[in-house]
Structure 1
Amino acid sequence: MASIAAYIGAALAEIGGCFAFWAWARMGKSIWWLPLGVVSLILFAWLLTLVDSDAAGRAYAAYGGVYIAASLFWLWAVEGVRPDRWDMIGVAICLIGAGIILLGPRTA
């Protein structure tokens, strides 16, 4: 359960950090969005270290599915664009893959 919370927090921090740069570069927002973006990206990196995994690469690979789901949530909640059925099918496939990577039995 702690890993899931870390993944969700990491995804929101990464998307928020990247969006801060997007807002500055593409939406004409104040340069003060950039320090907020940097802090958010640092938080993202730290949160990923809290995931219960024996290998960083495996933790990052599983995170990819969570990031995709969080990105579609951001699309809907922040940008006001409702994900369509193809978005939802794609995210379901990604989350299944992330679950297999994170929860699959490992041999020593």
Structure 2
Amino acid sequence: MIKTFALFAITAVAEIVGCYLPYLWLKQGKSAWLLIPAAASLALFAWLLSLHPTAAGRVYAAYGGIYIGVAILWLWAVDGIKPTAWDLVGSVVAITGMAIIMLAPKN
């Protein structure tokens, strides 16, 4: 479970970076050269998701819970916005959902 969680967290960072860099270019006037590492980061994201041995739909559903938690951490660490209690509770609910999906008995 810890290995899966860590892989999901790394995957989430790759996805967020891949989306954040174009945001910087489009909304904050940063260099279009940011699109190159953004594309590489999104390719890494797709590859990381492929490392899980279970059905893709289940992986994507479970990954979503971890993505939400990492995105809230990103909000705090990168954007400098302290998460609200509602942000934290929502993250816990999402991560709990991820745990239910990943820890469910397998047939």
Calculate the TM-score normalised by the size of structure 2.
0.95
Unaligned runs of at least 5 residues, structure 2: none
> After TM superposition, which residue ranges in structure 1, 4 or more long, deviate above 2 angstroms?
none
Alignment map for 1:52-67 (pairs within 5 Å): 52-53=53-54, 55-67=55-67
Counterpart of 1:24, as a letter, is W
In structure 1, give the amino acid aligned to 2:88. M
Counterpart amino acid of residue 8 in structure 1: A
Alignment partner, residue 85 of structure 1: 85
Q: Distance in 1 between matches of 2:77 and 2:92?
A: 18
Question: In terms of mean alpha carbon deviation, does 98-107 or 20-29 score higher?
Answer: 98-107
Question: What residue in structure 2 maps to residue 69 of structure 1?
Answer: 69
Per-residue Cα deviation, 1:63-102 (whole angstroms, up to 9, x for no partner):
0000000100000000000100000010100000011011
Q: TM-score, normalised by structure 1?
A: 0.94
1:45 and 1:72 mapped to 2: Cα distance? 21
Coordinate RMSD, CA, aligned: 0.9
Residue 26 of structure 1 is matched in structure 2 by 27
Q: Is the Cα contact below 8 Å between 1:21 and 1:37 reproduced in 2?
A: yes
Gaps (5+ residues) in structure 1?
none
Identity %: 46
